[in-house]
Chain A
């Protein structure tokens, strides 16, 4: 008996020893990090040789994360001497921090955290490594931001507004559908901009907004779309991470599709109208260039950087047109785009909410901060904020 017991103890001890030896070389303890000379006179990200990018979903979701992957490929093309590490399907918990730490351990001095929920992990990693530039996609940092951190995004609702014009022009039933996850201000701004764009060509249009409570749940998406289509909706768009299920179901029913996040026109050869997609390449490239030159701290990226069409650098752009979009519609969209490039906004008043209150008086344009806190649906949207 005694022999058996001590044999068991030996085995446990051996297992523990092996596990300890095999534990990842990364640690959150900054005194042990390999990349830190921790000399603060060296600017963060200067002369970077390795760049790391993490994404929350798969690189081929026809959506948000596919766009990130395309940005990564652009970085690889523009910086052939830099090693770009990319990791996908990184959940929004401390796995994100561990993954970023392991990238830092591999020499990365510029890290892109590309999902909204990676923000806390990004802040943690940035605090632990002052020599590493950590930029976050879409989040809001405190003002002033730490010297090595920044967040970046585009005014997404601008191309969505333009896509709304195409939808309003194409619909025969006057009913459009919008599938979204949760009513965050960014989503509400999208839905409202889409509606306003459609109303600019067809004032009586109705946009039915339905939520799935998830960013990518194909089964729920399928049910929502079927319900929309059987209620008479003939143009469907969405604010979801993955777009394949909804687009395929819409195309199978013979309705029109407006894409989001990425060009999924291959899924809807007949029904694709247009969409909006990320073109992260130029922005990722510029951030890396700025950091390599040692100019990150104090730059426009060392803040909550938001690019709109007026700045000429909006990373969210309109997708190409499908076969059924008429030249008249294209002209209307081009004219509207020019107005946005000249500093206009889809939310220039008068904007009326569903309940009739005037949210933006005629002629006024709300500042970006107000748009980022939108909490209502405009008149013409069918659906409630629950």
Chain B
């Protein structure tokens, strides 16, 4: 049972991790994108459609990334160029994506695709215990193992990452040094949307191998909560994503074993955990947040 739970946690947490990593990049640059769920939906439908038409799930992942990035591009235009309220823009784009994917997804509901199959890693997947938990999944899960460290490394050890973090902490420093804050924020937001799109594509091309309207069912919002829970740190995003994935998988494991389970309570766990973190750490959360995020509330200053 524990093995099943852990395997389900890794499997289910992968999409949340991709979206969480994307939102981390975006928020580190100073842009909050509540439309992450919308990017995931577009990524799921885009990925499914591209896989259906080309027969290649990797092209589907690419298609999902592009679809998710397009939505966040609109968000960037509204928020970075036009200075619109970030929360309103993100949420509105989520509702737009919800409707658009429901409408255009109708013809894909019955389509079968060449989805990702589970690829057990020879040798490693036979290790009792951690074998099935870590080494018997689809390729996107394996890539996710490296995505969080990679993004951590980019953010904290490269010049590009420094630009992103500066845009989120002291945007004037970028301007003084001749960089365009707007450009950095644009690219960060687009990258965030692309990663969220990959997370969404994972759900439709690897996890469920299906498309149905609103199939992301709130994972994008869990990802946004995860960013706060993980204090904008990619490694903690990975841990938190698997933790939240476990919460979602718990309902399956417990029910299969015959236990009574309040699924709605289980579904609330990710958000309750985030609230606890906010309450316990309080001011420290705001200190850990990129400074520019506090500007999101103060529209009178320009970017």
Q: CA of A184 to CA of B248 in the docked complex: distance in angstroms?
A: 23
Whole-angstrom distance between the Cβ of A195 and the nearest chain B Cβ: 14
Q: CA of A242 to CA of B261 in the docked complex: distance in angstroms?
A: 23
- With a CB–CB cut-off of 8 A, which chain B residues contact A58? 106, 109-110
Whole-angstrom distance between the Cβ of B293 and the nearest chain A Cβ: 30
Q: CA of A248 to CA of B204 in the docked complex: distance in angstroms?
A: 13
- Contact across chains for B248 and A244 when beta carbons are under 8 A apart: no
- With a CB–CB cut-off of 8 A, which chain A residues contact B208? 218-219, 221-222, 245
Q: CA of A214 to CA of B212 in the docked complex: distance in angstroms?
A: 12
Q: CA of A231 to CA of B215 in the docked complex: distance in angstroms?
A: 25
Q: Contacting B215 at CB < 8 Å: which of A60, A219, A224, A249?
A: A219
- With a CB–CB cut-off of 8 A, which chain A residues contact B11? 223, 226
Given A61-B109, A245-B208, verify A220-B256 contact (CB < 8 Å): no
- Contact across chains for B203 and A383 when beta carbons are under 8 A apart: no
Chain B, 77-130, CB within 8 A of any chain A CB = 102, 106, 109-110, 112, 117
- With a CB–CB cut-off of 8 A, which chain A residues contact B248? 223
- With a CB–CB cut-off of 8 A, which chain B residues contact A222? 207-210
Whole-angstrom distance between the Cβ of B43 and the nearest chain A Cβ: 13
Chain B, 176-232, CB within 8 A of any chain A CB = 203-204, 207-213, 215-217, 219
Minimum CB distance partner of B257 in chain A: A231
Q: CA of A62 to CA of B260 in the docked complex: distance in angstroms?
A: 30
Whole-angstrom distance between the Cβ of A361 and the nearest chain B Cβ: 27
- With a CB–CB cut-off of 8 A, which chain A residues contact B117? 252
In the complex, whether B249 has a CB less than 8 A from a CB of chain A is: yes
Q: CA of A222 to CA of B248 in the docked complex: distance in angstroms?
A: 12
- Contact across chains for A383 and B258 when beta carbons are under 8 A apart: yes
Chain A, 201-226, CB within 8 A of any chain B CB = 208, 210-211, 213-214, 216-224, 226
- Contact across chains for B264 and A213 when beta carbons are under 8 A apart: yes
Whole-angstrom distance between the Cβ of A344 and the nearest chain B Cβ: 31
Whole-angstrom distance between the Cβ of B115 and the nearest chain A Cβ: 8
- For chain B, the bracket of interface size reads 35 or more
- Contact across chains for A220 and B217 when beta carbons are under 8 A apart: yes
- With a CB–CB cut-off of 8 A, which chain A residues contact B262? 386
Q: Contacting B255 at CB < 8 Å: which of A224, A226, A245?
A: A224
- Contact across chains for A89 and B102 when beta carbons are under 8 A apart: yes
In the complex, whether B263 has a CB less than 8 A from a CB of chain A is: yes
- With a CB–CB cut-off of 8 A, which chain A residues contact B274? none
- Contact across chains for B8 and A226 when beta carbons are under 8 A apart: yes
Given A223-B248, A226-B252, A242-B109, verify A218-B212 contact (CB < 8 Å): yes
In the complex, whether B134 has a CB less than 8 A from a CB of chain A is: no
Given A58-B106, A244-B110, A245-B209, verify A223-B252 contact (CB < 8 Å): yes
Q: Contacting A60 at CB < 8 Å: which of B4, B110, B210, B213?
A: B110
Whole-angstrom distance between the Cβ of A176 and the nearest chain B Cβ: 12
- Contact across chains for A386 and B109 when beta carbons are under 8 A apart: no
What 1/0 mask marks residues of chain B from 37 to 58 whose CB sits below 8 Å from any chain A CB? 0000000000000000000000
- Contact across chains for B256 and A223 when beta carbons are under 8 A apart: no
In the complex, whether A324 has a CB less than 8 A from a CB of chain B is: no
Whole-angstrom distance between the Cβ of B64 and the nearest chain A Cβ: 15
In the complex, whether B17 has a CB less than 8 A from a CB of chain A is: no
- Contact across chains for A62 and B217 when beta carbons are under 8 A apart: no
Whole-angstrom distance between the Cβ of A20 and the nearest chain B Cβ: 24
In the complex, whether A267 has a CB less than 8 A from a CB of chain B is: yes
- Contact across chains for A89 and B112 when beta carbons are under 8 A apart: no
Minimum CB distance partner of A210 in chain B: B255
Q: Contacting B212 at CB < 8 Å: which of A217, A224, A228, A252?
A: A217
- Contact across chains for B4 and A230 when beta carbons are under 8 A apart: yes
Q: CA of A63 to CA of B217 in the docked complex: distance in angstroms?
A: 21
- With a CB–CB cut-off of 8 A, which chain A residues contact B237? none
- Contact across chains for B256 and A208 when beta carbons are under 8 A apart: yes
Which residue, of B4, B208, B251, B259, has the highest number of chain A Cβ atoms within 10 A? B208
Q: CA of A221 to CA of B209 in the docked complex: distance in angstroms?
A: 11
Whole-angstrom distance between the Cβ of B11 and the nearest chain A Cβ: 8
Q: Contacting B252 at CB < 8 Å: which of A89, A224, A245, A382?
A: A224
- With a CB–CB cut-off of 8 A, which chain B residues contact A208? 255-256, 258
- Contact across chains for B259 and A89 when beta carbons are under 8 A apart: no
Binding site for B on A (CB under 8 A): 58, 60-62, 66, 88-89, 208, 210-211, 213-214, 216-224, 226-228, 230-231, 242, 244-245, 248-249, 252, 267, 382-384, 386
Known A210-B252, A211-B255, A248-B209; further 11 A-B contacts with Cβ < 8 A? A61-B110, A88-B106, A208-B255, A213-B263, A217-B217, A218-B204, A219-B215, A222-B208, A227-B249, A231-B257, A383-B255
Closest A-B pairs by Cβ, 10 of them: A60-B110, A227-B252, A218-B208, A384-B260, A218-B210, A210-B255, A222-B208, A245-B210, A227-B256, A386-B260
